[in-house]
Amino acid sequence: MTARAAYVLRGNSVGGMTRAAPDLYPHQWSWDAAFVAVGLAHVDVPRACLEMDTLLAGQWRTGMVPHIVFDPTETGYFPGPDRWGCAEVSTDAPIAPRTSGICQPPVHALAVERMLEVAGHRGGADQARLNAWLPVIYPRLLAWHRYLVRARDPGGTGRLAIYHGWESGMDNSPRWDDAYSRVTVGPELPPYTRRDTTVLTDASQRPSRQEYDRYLWIVEELKRAQYDDGKIRLSASFHTTDVFMSAIFAVANEALAGLAERLGTDEVDELLTYAERFRGGVAASVDPTSGFAVDTDLRSGASMPSDTIAGFAPLLCGGLDAKTEERLTELFRSDEWTGNPELQRAILPTTSPTSPAFRSRTYWRGPSWPVMNWFFAWMLHRRGAPTLAGPLRRASIAQLGDGQLAEYYEPLTGEPLGSRDQSWTAAAALDLLIHPDWPT
Residues with a known catalytic role: 171, 407
Fill in the amino acid letter for 196.
Answer: D
Fill in the amino acid letter for 341.
Answer: P
Task: Report angle CA 334, 177, 214 to the nearest 5 degrees.
Answer: 145
Give the integer Cα–Cα distance in Å for 291 and 314. Answer: 10
Q: Read off φ and ψ for residue 290, nearest 5 degrees.
A: -85, -25
Q: What is the dihedral of CA 213, 216, 222, 224, to 10 degrees?
A: -80
Cβ atoms of 96 and 54 closer than 8 Å: no
Q: What is the CA radius of gyration of the chain?
A: 20
Task: Report angle CA 421, 211, 337 to the nearest 5 degrees.
Answer: 60
Element (H, E) at 68: strand 68-69
Give the integer Cα–Cα distance in Å for 379 and 110. Answer: 10
Query: Is residue 241 helix, strand or coil?
Result: strand
CB environment 380-393: b (16+ within 10 A), e (fewer) = bbbeebeebbbbbb
Residue 227 CA, chain-centre distance (Å), reads: 21
Give the total residue count for the chain: 440
